[in-house]
Amino acid sequence: MPDTLLVIEDEDLLGNELVRHYRQEGWDVARADSLAAARRLISSGFDPLVVLSDMSLPDGNALDLLEALRRQSAGGEWILLTGYGTIPDSVRALRLGAYDFLEKPCATERLDLVVAGAARSSRAQRQLREQSAWQNRRYTPDAFVGCGAATTRLRALLGKLASVPFSALVIGGETGTGKGLAARILHYSGPRTAHPLVELNCAALPQELLESELFGHEAGAFTGAKGRHRGLIEQAQGGTLFLDEIGELDLGLQAKLLKVIEDRRVRRLGGEREIAVDVQILVASNRDLAARVEEGAFRGDLYHRLSVFHLTLPPLRERREDIEELVRLFVAEFNASAGKHVRVVPQAVWTRLRAHGWPGNVRELRNVVERCVLLSEDEVFPQQWLQLPDGPSTPAARSDSDWLHLPLDGSMALEDMEKYIIQEALERSGHNVTAAARALGTTRQTLRYRIQKHGLKAPS
């Protein structure tokens, strides 16, 4: 399909010559001899990649039409021609985003170069708009698949949050529950969708690099800083910054991040001035940030500033009614990508899938379905490639050493229960803190804090 060019020119000789020339160059060209005619063309569905327009027309100034179209977010690059250019018109044209401002007469060779450059710029902008529109369609609250009550409530909450201009939000939940998906839904369904979504996994980079990535740096700020680098906060200007695994951020960087959020200004490493930023902050963690605050591993002031809203995603074991819909979605996805034709899921497979505990949540389920579809040989979902445990653990299958018995008659306070559990875990592990932490499903740092809190000591 040829590129579209709109020529707005009231002089018949020049207008017809431009139409003839660019049609020979392969353009789909339309001409208007007034602003009213140009408006009718555009409103009828003609979407020009480039507009080549005279400045002064019988019914007004072309800049008025450009300004009206920019208010409607209409695309296309504008090149303005005038026989008597003025400084105010030049300034207004550039302020409205005109690609170039040329004086008549303009040599054909130069005009061709400017039109070609405007076409490249317009194609890039059109591609970005189409990509953004695709993301908007893909990441709606309906992208959070499931028919259960918990998922239905979550979709409704996502839709409500996407409609309000909040400044910060904390997304909690276990690994694999869809925190990244929730962040994309909130951005692409919200008022900042026309601006960038910038994502950073705080656990994926060494702490010494995180500061430069977040805040940016000037040339010479540190060894190896050969040029200026715009940090991710700057890159997210007008849009959303999503910080995954924020619990891994050290306390020093947490203080700097808090200052940026409070002041809405950022200073690059080695920079002398602060830069105003307007960014929506989304953070996620599979750890309990409130507990991390209590342990002293996360700043309380940053936590309270971020938790304007708090969204907790339920684990898959609490939404088992969604498994069937998710499996069918993943089967269709991998059928399409791998050229497979799996259509039948045996009842024995459903039984196994519903019985599994899914510690890895939706991510684990997706991986299981991918493996089975890729290794399938016909239309039947292959049970042998599930590779799941035979069934959920039951009390009878466990040894007595795996259990603790606590009174629930009010004779033992909650704090005493916690102390007793930790002390028992330490004794059973031979006071190996790492092994005890693993048995209790927590981190070594958290357990050490609890040990100090309760004054527990290893025997001499």
- Helix then strand count (H, E) for the chain reads 18, 16
Verify that 255 and 357 share a domain, yes or no. Answer: no
120 occurs within a structural domain: yes
- In tens, the pLDDT along 285-299 reads 988 899 999 989 999
In a domain, 437, yes or no: yes
Q: Are residues 345 and 367 located together in one domain of the fold? A: yes
If asked whether residues 57 and 111 sit together in one domain, one would say yes
Same domain, 145 and 270: yes
243: confidence class by pLDDT, cuts 50, 70, 90? very high
Q: Which two tokens stand for residue 333?
A: 């996805």
Q: What's the rounded Cα separation, in Å, for the pair 286 and 247?
A: 8
Give domain status of residue 149, yes or no: yes
pLDDT at 62 over 70: yes
pLDDT at position 1: 56
pLDDT band at 393 (very low <50, low <70, confident <90, very high): very low
Residue numbers of the domain that contains 110: 4-135
Q: Choose one of 77, 110, 135: the last residue of a domain.
A: 135
Q: Residue 115: how many CA atoms within 13 Å on its side-chain side?
A: 25
The pLDDT of residue 252 is: 92
Q: List the one residue out of 110, 122, 147, 142 whose CA is nearest residue 50.
A: 122
- Residues 289 and 378 reside in one and the same domain: no
Q: In this structure, what CATH number is given to the domain that contains residue 80?
A: 3.40.50.2300
Shared domain for 102 and 143, answered yes or no, is: no
Q: What pLDDT, on the 0 to 100 scale, is given for residue 435?
A: 83
The CATH number covering residue 148 comes to 3.40.50.300
The DSSP secondary structure of 242-311, one letter per residue, reads EEETGGGS-HHHHHHHHHHHHHTEE--BT-SS-EE---EEEEEESS-HHHHHHHTSS-HHHHHHHTTEEE
Which residue type, as a one-letter code, is found at position 243?
A: L
Percent residues over pLDDT 90 in the chain: 57
The last residue of a domain, from among 102, 135, 168: 135
Answer yes or no: is 192 within a domain: yes
Indicate whether 350 belongs to any domain: yes
pLDDT of amino acid 94: 77
pLDDT at residue 419, rounded to an integer = 86
User: Two tokens at 32?
Assistant: 């208007």
Mean pLDDT of 165-179: 94
Q: Which of 124-133, 244-253, 308-317 has the lowest mean pLDDT?
A: 124-133
Claim to verify: residue 366 and residue 405 sit in the same structural domain = no
Q: Are residues 308 and 162 in the same domain?
A: yes
> Are 76 and 52 members of one domain?
yes
Task: Please name the residues in contact with 255: beta carbons below 8 A apart, sequence gap of 6 or more.
Answer: 299, 302
Residue 133: what pLDDT? 62
Q: Which residues contact 40 (CB under 8 A, 6 or more apart)?
A: 32
- Give the CATH number for residue 410: 1.10.10
- Average pLDDT score over residue span 84-97: 76
- 394 within a domain of the structure (yes/no): no
Confidence of residue 132 (pLDDT cuts 50, 70, 90): low
Confidence of residue 398 (pLDDT cuts 50, 70, 90): very low
Count how many domains the chain has. Answer: 4
pLDDT, average across residues 81-97? 77
Instruction: Specify whether 177 is located in the same domain as 199.
Output: yes
| Positions of E strands within 26-135 | 28-32, 50-54, 56-57, 60-61, 77-82, 100-103
Query: pLDDT by residue (tens digit) across 325-335?
Result: 999 999 999 99
Instruction: Lowest mean pLDDT of 70-74, 116-120, 227-231, name the range.
Output: 70-74
Whole-number pLDDT of residue 416:
78
Task: Determine, yes or no, domain membership for 391.
Answer: no
Q: Would you give the DSSP letter of residue 313? A: P
Does 76 share its domain with 203? no
End position of a domain, from candidates 385, 414, 445: 385
In a domain, 460, yes or no: no
In terms of DSSP bridges, do strands 275-276 and 265-266 run parallel, antiparallel, or are they unpaired?
Answer: antiparallel
Rounded to the nearest integer, the mean pLDDT of the chain is 88
Over the stretch 3-44, which tens digit does the pLDDT of each residue have? 899 999 999 999 999 999 999 999 999 999 999 999 999 888
Average pLDDT over residues 245-272: 93
> Do 149 and 214 lie in a common domain?
yes
Please say if the pLDDT value at position 408 is more than 80: no
